[in-house]
Amino acid sequence: MYRIVFLDRDTIGPGVTLTHPDFPHEWTEYRHTTPQQVVERLQDANIVITNKVPLRADTLAQLPRLAMIAVAATGHDVVDLGVTCERRIVVSNVRGYATHSVPEHAFALIFALRRSLTGYRQDVIRGAWQQSGQFCFFNHPIRDLHGSTLGIIGAGALGQAVGAMGRALGMRVLYAAHKGAAAMGALYTPFTAVLAQADVLSLHAPLTPATRHLIALPEFEQMQRHPLLINTSRGGLVNEHDLVTALDQGLISGAGFDVLTSEPPAADNPLLGILERPNVIVTPHVAWASTEAMQALWNQVIANINAFVAGTPLNQVGEPPDRVG
């Protein structure tokens, strides 16, 4: 009988129905797991489900019975793929589950910042409108999205969905080519040109060594139209100290971030010091987490496990093993 262990159940919302695989198995789940607890909890496991609990080489070396890792996310940097390939451990992730949730969250941030909703809400709370003596007042800029330029870094499913929303609102949409690339086909505009032309810049790229700090002070200084910067992708794409500098210097008009370099943020994270600014919104990595998206994610996790046991693994990452088990 397969023994399945879910290491971090609290990373999936409480409203999600946790269905189980349709073959005989023993199921154990933990609300959260520290790195020091992993080996003990997986000692007899054949299949592990993890979202953010890392499975590194030293840990995997102590888990001889482990045959499959089901990652409850698209990003799989928590797994040492070199070891899993060598050991022929199947690693499957989930894909395409948040193609509505993430773009909608990105545009929620865009709308709120472009129309200064946070600033005006703060004005009403502190009584500024009530004291103004007129039916409205103009403490913060309000700009239409129609006719503006949306720059998108990352042309995968999420980037494409954000672009479709932008076009539906009458925005001109540009997809950035890789930083430093001379030509990448008709879909793409040179990276520096997108920085220069965008009124809104939305990030939808994976975090890799090549994309870490993709946006830093040199890039902010190329943003001629002082755009909004939206990040619902990975925190490490942006140098957060330089982001504060860019806001201080007016190089960008606002920032909407759902992801930070370290999560939850440490007390010295520079963005924590500017949260009261009306042109800054930080949400706690929830762009992906609509009820519908989380249920779709879980359904795919279970489908991946069922497929593995049936001998037809799905959504494998890394080099596919030449046999299952």
Side-chain half-sphere CA neighbours of 108 within 13 A: 15
Q: Which residues contact 51 (CB under 8 A, 6 or more apart)?
A: 7, 8, 11, 12, 71, 72, 73
**Cα(89)–Cα(102) distance, integer angstroms:** 30
Catalytic one among 26, 221, 263, 292?
Answer: 263
DSSP β-bridge partners for residue 5: 28, 48
Active site residue 263: yes
Strand boundaries in the chain, DSSP class E:
2-6, 25-29, 47-50, 68-71, 90-92, 149-153, 172-176, 188-189, 200-203, 228-231, 254-257, 280-282
**The two three-digit tokens of residue 144, written as one number:** 């239409």
Catalytic one among 105, 204, 234, 240?
Answer: 234
DSSP β-bridge partners for residue 49: 6, 70
Sort 91 into a burial class: Cβ within 10 Å, 0-12 / 13-18 / 19+: buried
| Contact by Cβ (8 Å): 42, 5 | yes
Name the CA dihedral angle for 152, 153, 159, 163, rounded to a multiple of 10 degrees: 10
| Contact by Cβ (8 Å): 224, 251 | no
| Contact by Cβ (8 Å): 104, 285 | no
| Contact by Cβ (8 Å): 12, 72 | yes
Active site residue 285: yes
Catalytic one among 76, 105, 204, 285?
Answer: 285
Question: Cis before residue 264, ω within 30 degrees of 0?
Answer: yes
Residues annotated as catalytic (active site), given as ranges: 234, 263, 285
